[in-house]
């Protein structure tokens, strides 16, 4: 199993699509991420889990170039994220938490806008937009303003924006939140196909069952520190992933006696 104390400094892009070394971020006096070392194998579906406030979103923001670290480095496909920001954008697709979109555009217009921002030609943008809208069940709503989409539909159009340029690495923060079971299965199939064809997914989620079902690798972070990383089987260590996660992060053993909550 990998550990946070790994001394490896190379970034072999034939093995790892992304690598983090000594990644550190402070907000005032609070250390949100502490000397984090991690390798993301190419072609993997990599779960990134931790309790609220663990440093997950901060770490993913630094990996994708949205937040500059105070110390440490991040590489994607062998490129230093902060030395090559323009090149990195074409290689990474991001579905962030608390997604903000140009929601006065329709779904079709939004995908067209994003595709053109990536420098894609209009014909390719049009073809991929149609494919994505149909695959994600948004075909009938393609001309509706994104502001009028439900939470689940907004999540799906955000995912479409993240993949339209066919990136090497997808970084998804809670991609199944507010998604119905039918759509969740479709998204899972799209992600599996992406990794089968050589793409890599980093998936942050609070739902251990989802991570255990979809992912082949997982890292656990708490208090800004990497607690464990490796294959799901290695990290679970003979338990189900949720039980092992609670054991590692020091979850409470009892909810206490809320006697007043009982019906009279």
Bridge partners, 48 (sequence order) = 204, 219
12 versus 184: which is more confidently predicted?
A: 184
Q: What is the mean pLDDT of residues 100-129?
A: 94
Using only the alpha carbons of the chain, give its radius of gyration.
Answer: 19
Greatest Cα-to-Cα distance within the chain, rounded to the nearest angstrom: 66
Per residue in 33-59, pLDDT (tens digit) is: 999 999 999 999 999 999 988 999 999
Q: What is the pLDDT of residues 3-30, one digit of tens each?
A: 443 434 444 446 899 999 999 999 999 9
Residues 6+ apart with CB under 8 A from 39: 2, 6, 8, 15, 16, 18, 19, 20
The yes-or-no verdict on residue 252 having pLDDT over 70 is no
Looking at the chain, the number of H-run helices and the number of E-run strands are: 9, 10
Both tokens of 209, joined, read 């069952």
- Per-residue pLDDT, averaged over 83-95, amounts to 92
Q: Is the pLDDT of residue 79 over 60?
A: yes
Q: What is the pTM of this model?
A: 0.87
């Amino acid at each position: 199993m990998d550990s946070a104390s790994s001394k490896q400094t190379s970034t072999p892009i034939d093995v790892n699509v992304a690598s983090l070394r000594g990644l550190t971020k402070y907000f005032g006096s609070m250390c949100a991420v502490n000397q984090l070392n991690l390798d993301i194998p190419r072609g993997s579906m990599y779960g990134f889990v931790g309790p609220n406030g663990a440093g997950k979103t901060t770490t993913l923001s630094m990996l994708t170039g949205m937040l500059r670290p105070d110390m440490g480095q991040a590489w994607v496909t062998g490129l230093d994220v902060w030395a090559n920001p323009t090149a990195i954008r074409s290689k990474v697709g991001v579905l962030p938490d608390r997604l903000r979109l140009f929601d006065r555009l329709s779904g079709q217009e939004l995908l067209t806008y994003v595709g053109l921002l990536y420098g894609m030609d209009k014909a390719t943008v049009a073809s991929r937009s149609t494919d994505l809208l149909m695959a994600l069940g948004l075909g009938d709503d393609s001309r509706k303003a994104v502001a009028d989409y439900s939470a689940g539909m907004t999540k799906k159009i955000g995912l479409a924006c993240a993949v339209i340029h066919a990136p090497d690495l997808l970084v998804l923060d809670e991609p199944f939140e507010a998604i119905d079971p039918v759509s969740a299965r479709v998204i899972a199939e799209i992600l599996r196909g992406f990794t089968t064809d050589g793409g890599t997914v980093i998936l942050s989620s609070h739902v251990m069952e989802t991570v255990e079902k979809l992912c082949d690798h997982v890292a656990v972070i708490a208090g800004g520190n990497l607690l464990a990383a490796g294959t799901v089987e290695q990290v679970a260590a003979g338990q189900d992933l949720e039980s092992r996660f609670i054991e590692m992060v020091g979850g409470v053993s009892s909810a206490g006696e809320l006697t007043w909550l009982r019906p009279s």
